[in-house]
């Protein structure tokens, strides 16, 4: 399997604006934001897409981390997961988009 851009970021081979990191996850600012605040929460353990993660515990930790990152940066937010190319997934390493910051 080809190395993804996210693996290169995790391995510090390419720079990124990291907003959160722990042993299992990293969160970065998206280079091509679709909202005033657009973060990506990425598991360090690679899986090509969300439905490839079979462990409910891992899925729960991924979503709990995405919510934690969202709450640290936003009061209101949207979580988005693109699962497969027909759904808009461009990088085949599971990740959750955290979007927000729109004015009401």
Q: What are 10's strand-pairing partners?
A: none
Cα 91 to Cα 44: distance, rounded to the nearest angstrom: 14
Summarised one tens digit per residue, pLDDT across range 53-102 is 999 999 999 999 999 999 999 999 999 999 999 999 999 999 999 999 99
Q: Any idea where the domains of the chain sit in the sequence?
A: 5-100
Cα 50 to Cα 29: distance, rounded to the nearest angstrom: 20
95 is catalytic: yes
Q: Which residues contact 32 (CB under 8 A, 6 or more apart)?
A: none
Q: What is the pTM of this model?
A: 0.95
Q: Which residues contact 28 (CB under 8 A, 6 or more apart)?
A: 9, 16, 17, 18, 19, 39, 40, 42
5-100, which class in CATH?
A: alpha beta
Active-site residue, selected from the candidate residues 32, 38, 93, 95? 95
């Amino acid at each position: 399997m080809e190395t993804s851009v996210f693996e290169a970021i995790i391995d510090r081979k390419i720079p990124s604006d990291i907003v959160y990191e722990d042993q299992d996850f990293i969160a970065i600012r998206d280079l091509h934001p679709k909202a005033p605040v657009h973060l990506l929460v990425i598991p360090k353990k690679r899986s090509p897409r969300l439905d490839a993660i079979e462990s409910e515990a891992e899925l729960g930790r991924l979503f709990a981390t995405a919510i934690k990152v969202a709450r640290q940066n936003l009061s209101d937010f949207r979580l988005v997961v693109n699962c497969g190319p027909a759904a808009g997934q461009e990088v085949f390493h599971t990740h959750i988009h955290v979007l927000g910051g729109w004015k009401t």
